[in-house]
Amino acid sequence: MLYGVQAPRRRDARRNREAIVLAASDLMTSGRDAVGMPEIARRAGVGQATLYRHFPDRFALTAAVIAHQVERLEAYIAATDQQPAAFRPMLDAVLHTQVTMRPLVHLARRLDPAVQGRYLRRIVALLAEPLRRAQEHGFVRRDLEPADLILIFTMVEGVLEGPLDGRAAADRTIDLALNGVFRTTAA
């Protein structure tokens, strides 16, 4: 009987954790500047005690949401493995996620710098192989290096935090950056 009781709790706990991460991801793309933990718990359909049992503070939840976004990127990369032209929409999606997930970005900036660096290096490492394939097929400039992606992320972030109309200026910046990186036709 003890084993019959324990397994559902673990399954429920996994389901609750996943619901919390998904709710936080959804709310963090709402375009608002901040998202409260109580709102995340409500959206996930759990109590605040359950939320805090899984994520003792907003930084633990931030790390889980970033990990979730990285897993989504991994899945997208795997699904487009043999499509070198898919690198442009992939990079465009990553950059627009940076634009729409402002609450996540603001919280991520408050994480330990080593943790921030680890996630950034992981994203760049994930994009390195699709970048290489796109370059081999002539879709991307040959001189673009994976580390240059950090420059593009930083440029978009600078525009978002600057004095211009954030979203419109960021969209324009992304278009300009991608047009500078990608060729209109494969070489």
How many whole angstroms separate alpha carbon 31 and alpha carbon 33?
7
What is the domain partition of the chain in residue ranges? 1-56, 58-187
Q: Given phi > 0 = left and psi -120 to 50 = alpha, else beta, which region is 140?
A: beta
Give the global pTM: 0.82
CA distance 76 to 73: 5
Q: Helices 87-100 and 166-181 meet at what angle, rounded to 10?
A: 160
Please determine whether the domains at 1-56 and 58-187 fall in the same fold group of CATH: no
Mind listing the pLDDT tens digit of every residue in the chain (187 residues)?
A: 445 444 556 888 899 999 999 999 988 877 676 788 999 999 999 999 999 999 999 889 999 999 999 999 999 999 998 899 999 999 999 999 888 888 888 888 888 999 989 999 999 999 999 999 999 999 999 999 999 999 999 999 899 888 877 788 889 999 999 999 997 665 5
How crowded is residue 182: how many other Cβ atoms within 10 Å of its Cβ?
19
What is d(CA 160, CA 168) in angstroms, rounded to the nearest whole number?
A: 9
* CA–CA separation, 24 and 61 (whole Å): 8
Is the distance from CB of 178 to CB of 91 less than 8 angstroms? yes
165 sits in which H/E element: none
Q: Cβ–Cβ contacts within 10 Å for residue 146, how many?
A: 16
CATH number, domain 1-56 = 1.10.10.60
Q: Pick one of 3.90.1300.10, 3.30.830.10, 1.10.357.10, 3.40.50.300 as the CATH number of 58-187.
A: 1.10.357.10
